[in-house]
Structure 1
Amino acid sequence: MSFVHLHTHSEYSWLDGACTIDDLVQRAVQYKMPAVAITDRNSVAGASRLWHQCIKAGIKPIIGLEIAVQNDLGDGRVFSVILLAKNGSGYENLCRLITQAHEHDPQAPKITKRQLREHSQNLICLSFSVVGEICTLLLEGKDEQARQVSDWYYEVFGEDYFYEIQNHGLPSEAVAMNKLLNLAYQTKIPVVLTNDCHYMDRSDSLAIDSLNCIRKGLDFAHPEAKRFACNEYYFKSPKEMKALKGFPPELTKNTLEIADKIDVTDGYIPIAEIDLSAPRVVGLLSSYSPTLRIKFKPRSRHITVSLMDHKSADVLEHLRQQLLDYDLVHFTEYDPWTPRSIYSEVLKTMKVPEEKIKELCGSIPAGAKTLREAILMNVDFSCLSSEDYMCSLAAEIGDTLINTFKEEITSRHNYALIPKGIPVPVVQDIDGQPRCQYDIRRMEEAGFVTIEMQP
């Protein structure tokens, strides 16, 4: 019997996930897993890449997310859950919930239980880890409240609701596990075993600590530098998951049953049926002013507009007035690390002096794609980076993180024309402006016309 990971953070869990989608799919195939899920925090930005990589590899993609849920009444605390899309309709509900979470609080996105109920159709819900609402209440000795919360989720999700159990070797998990299994005996709600995967291998735990320090602006000497209390938050093999003690065998079997609930045969990631063509948009732009320089390829849906002294705001307003059924929305660019940028940031977390960092990073060849490649290409960098243990370790960590993202940024001069009512994941940027989580590749896959404004 195999196993399917259902709680996994990819590079799209910005600065909190070191499992790249390509590595996840490759490892799942290596472990003979029939499926693999990504459950990034408040994001489905990696959904398209997961789908393409899984279909190519012959395994099933499972698209989900981790999202915080605030009680409508009571103490007002916030607890996360894992949501998995059963089909295209479920995926659209994930998009709606992401948008509502950011509308509720752009700085700390969260949804209410009322919103979760409204958009629960075709979603599978896992109760989350030891810090989820039910386990927290059980550990606080509030068994009756835990039962009430369980009843609410079962009322909303029915047979698509599962208790989630993990074992990373933490004492609190052992206590919570026994209490949750007792509750499961009373409620007959099925239990599923997961591992909270934030990195690929046990040896990568320092890499996730580095990301944590970069995200929080800390160094390794800080008490909060470590992301986790142990090094068990990695993508374990089925054999390793089954070797965890104290779990009935049906807990691993339930991962396969959940995977069987996922229907990816038709429109798992919906493609909008849009009547709007790029030539029509080109015509509308030309009607604003014939002096605009407009370029687009016949089979492309991407349009480049040279403004020629016109104001972009005026051109965009013209389009809005002509296309009342469409929204003009920024999309996202995912800025990758370079060997120099990731090495510099990791060295900072290790409190390496600034002058030393400049010397090290300055010796990295411009053409190097990884730090290992830089060592092979340049003798000076090879010698400097191996002078002491910290610099050598920073190079190893940097290469582990090289394929994650440095930052998510709004593509300021790029817009997508999205039909009103089409659910897409919209978040708020640092200036409070809405942007879709999709990048330009996903925008084109979805069938949206995109516009790039140039001076």
Structure 2
Amino acid sequence: MTFCHLNLHTDRSIMRGLIKPSALVEWSKKHGVRGAAVTDYGTLAAAFELHEACKGTSVMPIYGMEINLVDDKTEKSQTSLRLILIAKNKQGFRNLITLATIGAMYFYYIPRLDITDLEDYGGDLIAISGDMQGVAADAYFRDQDNGLKNLWDIYTAIFGDDFYFEIEPALIDSQRVLNEALVKFALSVGTTNLVATGDPHYMVREDRDLHKCVMAIKNNRNPSWYYPMKGDYHVRTYDEMVDQFAELHGYDISNVPGFREALKQPDVIIDKIESFDICEGVKIPTFIK
């Protein structure tokens, strides 16, 4: 089995990610993975580099972005929730560009969007509910299944069958609780729209110490004791993902309904994504006389 991570951060996620798109594509080729996805925080800065790295290979570039959602982007607030957006086609990529632009226009410590932006520009996009700071985690830990039902209704109204709950193998108890709650809820509403991701921030396990230093610098902490991320966040294979989920949950999830589909879902999602060229040539401005 192969595995494509649909939540992944390159070195364009400044002071957070370390992955080079070229290294990701080489890894994908080596392991027979059909696509290479990049979902940097609030930016599409790595898109062209990913496009160039995939050119002439069997690996399809998958363009995405992890956005920060606030209740009202016109208000100055540092409280936000995360959501992954992935372009299904060229129009979806254009929508991502628009959303990245709006996020920058309403920047307050971070690029910020609100739900009205998703309603306006959510077409041709796939949405994934994010990590422990994402929309699903917030909904569940605030109001349990009622929160998830409300979230499901809102986001399926915008994205239809292209909204997915994200489960991760982060080695913290709240992640285990959330994973099991999302699987249980999804099955209760008759869907298997669950997707597993490893949320990679660095390429190989040996890069963990370097990433630890980067995170400490970012947060003005001492790397000898500070590191907010539990477990491995390198680009893992399918077997490594299964093993870390087993470490988190205490049993093999690979044949458990819901979890089983989540592990296979990246391939299903890739089938929804078209191959397209993001390069459109030189744009000459029209000057008004």
| Fold-level similarity (TM above 0.5) | yes
Q: For residue 250 of structure 2, what is the aligned residue in structure 1? A: none
Amino acid at match of 2:111: P
Separation in 1 of the partners of 2:80 and 2:152? 16
Equivalences for 1:286-305 in 2 at 5 Å?
Answer: none
Q: For residue 202 of structure 2, what is the aligned residue in structure 1? A: 199
Separation in 1 of the partners of 2:102 and 2:284? 27
Q: For residue 147 of structure 1, what is the aligned residue in structure 2? A: 149
Amino acid at match of 2:141: L
Is the 8 Å Cα contact of residues 35 and 62 (structure 1) preserved in structure 2? yes
1:240 matched to 2:240? The reply is yes
Distance change >3 Å, CA 18–CA 124, structure 1 → 2? same
Separation in 1 of the partners of 2:175 and 2:218? 26
Amino acid at match of 1:8: L
Separation in 1 of the partners of 2:188 and 2:69? 25
Is the 8 Å Cα contact of residues 139 and 151 (structure 2) preserved in structure 1? no
1:181 matched to 2:190? The reply is no
Equivalences for 1:377-388 in 2 at 5 Å?
Answer: none
Q: For residue 40 of structure 2, what is the aligned residue in structure 1? A: 40
Separation in 1 of the partners of 2:180 and 2:143? 13
Q: For residue 442 of structure 1, what is the aligned residue in structure 2? A: none
Give the CA deviation at 1:207.
1.0
Equivalences for 1:124-273 in 2 at 5 Å?
Answer: 124-189=126-191, 190-221=193-224, 225-228=226-229, 230-243=230-243, 244-245=245-246, 246-247=253-254, 248-264=259-275, 266-267=276-277, 269-271=278-280
SS of aligned partner of 2:127? strand
The one-character-per-residue Cα deviations of 1:392-416 (angstroms, maximum 9, x if unpaired) are xxxxxxxxxxxxxxxxxxxxxxxxx
SS of aligned partner of 2:17? coil
SS of aligned partner of 2:56? helix
Q: For residue 30 of structure 1, what is the aligned residue in structure 2? A: 30
The TM-score, its normalising length taken from structure 2, stands at 0.87
Q: Which moved more, 1:105-114 or 1:57-66?
A: 105-114
Q: 2:106 aligns with which of 104, 107, 110?
A: 104
Q: For residue 287 of structure 2, what is the aligned residue in structure 1? A: 323
Runs of 4+ in 1 over 6 A off after TM superposition: none
Is the 8 Å Cα contact of residues 69 and 80 (structure 2) preserved in structure 1? yes
Q: For residue 17 of structure 2, what is the aligned residue in structure 1? A: 17
Q: 2:86 aligns with which of 58, 61, 84?
A: 84
Is the 8 Å Cα contact of residues 165 and 193 (structure 1) preserved in structure 2? yes
Distance change >3 Å, CA 200–CA 273, structure 1 → 2? closer
Amino acid at match of 2:117: Q
1:62 matched to 2:71? The reply is no
Distance change >3 Å, CA 270–CA 175, structure 1 → 2? same
Amino acid at match of 2:169: N
Is the 8 Å Cα contact of residues 11 and 19 (structure 2) preserved in structure 1? yes
Is the 8 Å Cα contact of residues 35 and 61 (structure 2) preserved in structure 1? yes
Amino acid at match of 2:97: C
Give the CA deviation at 1:105.
2.3
**What's the RMSD between the two structures over aligned residues?**
2.2
Is the 8 Å Cα contact of residues 202 and 231 (structure 1) preserved in structure 2? no
Q: Which moved more, 1:10-19 or 1:230-239?
A: 230-239
1:117 matched to 2:81? The reply is no
The TM-score, its normalising length taken from structure 1, stands at 0.57
Equivalences for 1:265-284 in 2 at 5 Å?
Answer: 266-267=276-277, 269-271=278-280, 274=283
Give the CA deviation at 1:3.
1.7
Q: How many residues align?
A: 273
Amino acid at match of 1:62: I
Q: For residue 3 of structure 1, what is the aligned residue in structure 2? A: 3
Separation in 2 of the partners of 1:274 and 1:130? 41
Separation in 1 of the partners of 2:181 and 2:110? 30
Give the CA deviation at 1:275.
5.1
Amino acid at match of 1:262: I
Separation in 1 of the partners of 2:179 and 2:231? 20
Separation in 2 of the partners of 1:250 and 1:133? 21
Is the 8 Å Cα contact of residues 139 and 175 (structure 1) preserved in structure 2? no
Distance change >3 Å, CA 239–CA 126, structure 1 → 2? same
Higher strand fraction (1 or 2): 1
SS of aligned partner of 1:57? coil
Separation in 2 of the partners of 1:2 and 1:219? 37
Is the 8 Å Cα contact of residues 35 and 61 (structure 1) preserved in structure 2? yes
